[in-house]
Amino acid sequence: MHIFNDVVKLQLALDSYRKKNETIAFVPTMGGLHEGHLSLVRLAKQKADKVVVSIFVNPTQFGENEDFDKYPNTLSNDKSLLIDNEVDVLFNPDADRVYPDGFATDIKLDSTEGILCGASRPGHFQGVAQVVKRLFDIVKPDVAIFGQKDYQQLLIIKQMVKNLSLDIDIKSGDIVRQKSGLAMSTRNQYLSTNEAITAANLYKILNELKQGYLNNQQLDLLINQAKKQLEHHFKLDYIEVLDANTLRQITDNTHEIAILSAVFLGPVRLIDNIIFRRKNV
């Protein structure tokens, strides 16, 4: 595996692949790698000749009182995992290389930015879009892979690529879960053993809501029941059932449903979602 922190050296290496007509898949991460990330790497290997993974903890997507300074740094282990999974290139820049002096960009996002996680974390998705666009400009991938767990982020990135007419194919990887059902996340390591057991209730409650919906139970009642269940275990941020393609209210034309939720367990913010097709549509 080749490791770069310099933009120019990275681009020279990637140009050498392109000269051999090799395609490039890109998996952007903030490190703290786990099986969820590695599943994206494996998907990337199916989609292109060469795989580039970035590890960069992006300061612009962290809000006030969030965990930027404490975000897990497991670089040595991350490198070993990427080598074991036959990644071709690791890009591990510092902030000055991603955001050089004078760098400024304001990416126009649609109304999806301000709901759900965007309402709880003002400016977060502007920071995400900014760093993803910058990394796209550096790597110039043919395909980029993102996880479904950050579903709102996935849709925002797809819309950004469309709005800016970027020639990049965005693919998504399924959520990888622990045996308990808890969605894998770098922040899970903040949880104690007992908290991890409690955290598994998030997916259980979302899945019960899904089953109730598929059994034609009234949606408002299902959501209220889920809220009460979640509030028994967590501090609730939100739970919504929306059109999976637009993150707007479900209509008669909605084909795919998204159940999305964010909760706090102590200081740890957990997000999860279930995406499924509606019956008889």
Cα 118 to chain center, whole Å? 14
Q: What percent of the chain has pLDDT over 90?
A: 87
Residue 241, classed as helix, strand or coil, is strand
Distances (CA, A) of 3 to 10, 75, 83, 87, 251: 8, 12, 11, 10, 48
pLDDT at site 12: 98
Which secondary structure element, helix H or strand E, spans residue 37, and what is its range? Answer: helix 35-47
pLDDT beyond 70 at 8: yes
Residue 240, classed as helix, strand or coil, is strand
Rounded to the nearest integer, the mean pLDDT of the chain is 95
CA-nearest of 243, 236, 244, 231 to 262 is 236
Residue type, 254: T
Helices 151-163 and 124-139, packing angle to 10 deg: 60
- Token pair listed for 130: 């900014």
Order of strands, edge to edge, in the sheet holding 268-277?
235-243, 256-265, 268-277
How much is the CA Rg of the chain, to the nearest whole Å? 19
Helices 219-233 and 201-214, packing angle to 10 deg: 170
pLDDT in tens, 78-109: 999 999 999 999 999 999 999 988 777 778 88
pLDDT in tens, 119-145: 999 989 999 999 999 999 999 999 999
Question: What domains, with CATH codes, occur in the chain?
Answer: 2-173 (3.40.50.620), 186-275 (3.30.1300.10)
Q: pTM for the complete prediction? A: 0.95
Q: Catalytic amino acids? A: 37
Rounded distance, CA 72 to CA 152, Å? 23
pLDDT at site 88: 98
Rounded distance, CA 180 to CA 200, Å? 6
pLDDT at site 203: 98
Residue 19, classed as helix, strand or coil, is helix
Helix, strand, coil % in the chain, rounded to nearest 5? 45, 20, 35
Distances (CA, A) of 263 to 28, 231, 259: 25, 9, 13
Backbone angles phi, psi at 264, to 5 degrees: -115, 135
Rounded distance, CA 23 to CA 223, Å? 45
Contact present, 98 and 133 (Cβ < 8 Å): no
Geometric angle at alpha carbon 6, from 3 and 8, rounded to 5°: 115
pLDDT at site 280: 66
